[in-house]
Amino acid sequence: MNIFRKKKGGQIDPSRLPRHIAIVMDGNGRWARRRGLPRTVGHGAGAENFRTVATHCKELGIEYLTVYAFSTENWKRPAEEVETIMELLENYLYEAIGKMEKDRVKMKFFGDTTVLSEKLRELIAKTEEISARFEGVQVNICLNYGGRDEILRAAAQYAREYADGQRSPLTEKRFSDYLFSAGIPDPDLVIRPSGEYRLSNFLLWQTAYSEFYFTDTLWPDFNPRELDQAISVFQKRDRRYGGI
């Protein structure tokens, strides 16, 4: 029997899928500009594509999907664009709350959500409350997130507890427990669409041994076939973790 699933984007071995895929959802603004449209339209197209890709990950059997939705640096963008992104997030969470029980998809948020609107914080709390009821595919949304900020917060929290005599000397494992991703395996595969070749402050600690896949495709056009191609490339890599 052929164990490979044949796809237009490549062959996928279902026995060697990455447990955790992380994606920088980049290129929405350029996608819109190339079509003579406002950047806000690009963010709408990107939000729809997130639904498509997340569904495909679930169908493949990916256990964890982490997406970079809004960074700590994105507040520098025009107010109208930031407002549109937040509205799209609210709409997505309204939709997710209605489908979570049926889809069995857990949701977790990485980042400082205290500065978000009251409505968005309430929706986040509701999705996390529902998520606690069951096991299943987990989608992590990085919202007002920065990798450096995450590490600083973790270090400060550990320092406070250590000063109070609550903690023994620091190890990598113990430090990981202070991150937003505590208890979640590190990403096996990081995907960056849009032709950029950098992490942009995304999961700096967690991606130490991740495999990277870059593509010129802009995020709204990054379809399931592209994801299959990224996984196919990942499965050809030799992951030695510093060994031989």
- pLDDT tens track for 208-223: 999 999 999 999 999 9
pLDDT surpasses 50 at 190:
yes
Average confidence score pLDDT of the chain? 91
For the segment 25-47, the average pLDDT, to the nearest whole number, is 96
For the segment 188-192, the average pLDDT, to the nearest whole number, is 98
pLDDT-derived band at 9, boundaries 50, 70, 90: very low
Q: What pLDDT does residue 168 have?
A: 75
pLDDT-derived band at 183, boundaries 50, 70, 90: very high
164 is a catalytic site residue: no
Q: Which CATH superfamily is domain 17-146+187-234 in?
A: Decaprenyl diphosphate synthase-like (3.40.1180.10)
Q: What pLDDT does residue 1 have?
A: 31
Q: What pLDDT does residue 243 have?
A: 65
Among 149, 146, 142, 90, smallest CA distance to 121 is for 90
For the segment 23-52, the average pLDDT, to the nearest whole number, is 96
Q: Where are the domains of the chain?
A: 17-146+187-234
- pLDDT tens track for 119-145: 999 999 999 999 888 888 899 999 999
Q: What pLDDT does residue 11 have?
A: 82
Catalytic hit among 49, 74, 140, 221: 74
- pLDDT tens track for 52-77: 999 999 999 999 999 999 999 999 99
74 is a catalytic site residue: yes
Catalytic hit among 2, 13, 26, 112: 26
Instruction: Determine if the pTM surpasses 0.75.
Output: yes
